[in-house]
Amino acid sequence: MNIRVGLGTDIHRLEEGRPCILGGIELPHPKGPRGHSDGDAVLHALTDAITGAAGLDDIGTLFPDDDPQWKDANSQELLREAVALAAAKRWHVVNVDVVINTEGPKIKPHRPAMRASIAKLLGIDADAVNVKGKTLEGLTELSEGRAVSVQAVCLLQRAL
């Protein structure tokens, strides 16, 4: 079997005055994800999807924030490292698909930039990276704009 699928999820509270960095780009929004470093929940979910598919540990185990090596590492570095660790096991990303649950920031106008940003980090075509925003229909705490929740899947292929 030379293909594998992986799933990653993440959730971050949104805080007033934090830069709103998701998918490696900054979105115009008065609140941004709380977390050490940039709090980029999209890249964190993708990192877990890739490491999951590659049979590696999860993001918190691989890159503990109390380890000086990763203390101030931004999410882009962690994702690149996950891709490198997977590649060391000969697993390469075929495509990824991401759902961002939020009622702010708006995702749709920024999809092309976000897809291009993620594609560049993964070293694949933007066509193989999909991203969409979904609202919560007023049903959860997320619908008050207090958090962003992300689900990501990826397909890996092993070079023969």
Chain positions contacting Mg ion, by CB under 5 A: 10, 44
CB of 35 to Mg ion, least distance (A): 5
CB of 10 to Mg ion, least distance (A): 4
CB of 43 to Mg ion, least distance (A): 8
Listed in sequence order, the residues at least 6 apart from 109 whose beta carbon sits closer than 8 Å to its beta carbon are none
Nearer Cβ to Mg ion, position 10 or 81?
Answer: 10
**Which tokens sit at 131?**
């991203």
Nearer Cβ to Mg ion, position 52 or 126?
Answer: 52
Nearer Cβ to Mg ion, position 118 or 126?
Answer: 118
SS (H, E, C) 31-52: EEECCCCCCCHHHHHHHHHHHH
Is the distance from CB of 13 to CB of 39 less than 8 angstroms? no
Nearer Cβ to Mg ion, position 6 or 126?
Answer: 6
CB of 105 to Mg ion, least distance (A): 17
State the residue number with the nearest CB to Mg ion: 44
Question: In 27-141, where does DSSP find H-type helix?
Answer: 41-53, 59-62, 75-88, 111-122
Listed in sequence order, the residues at least 6 apart from 6 whose beta carbon sits closer than 8 Å to its beta carbon are 48, 49, 50, 51, 52, 53, 54, 153, 154, 156
Beta bridge partners of 6: 154
CB of 70 to Mg ion, least distance (A): 13
Nearer Cβ to Mg ion, position 10 or 103?
Answer: 10
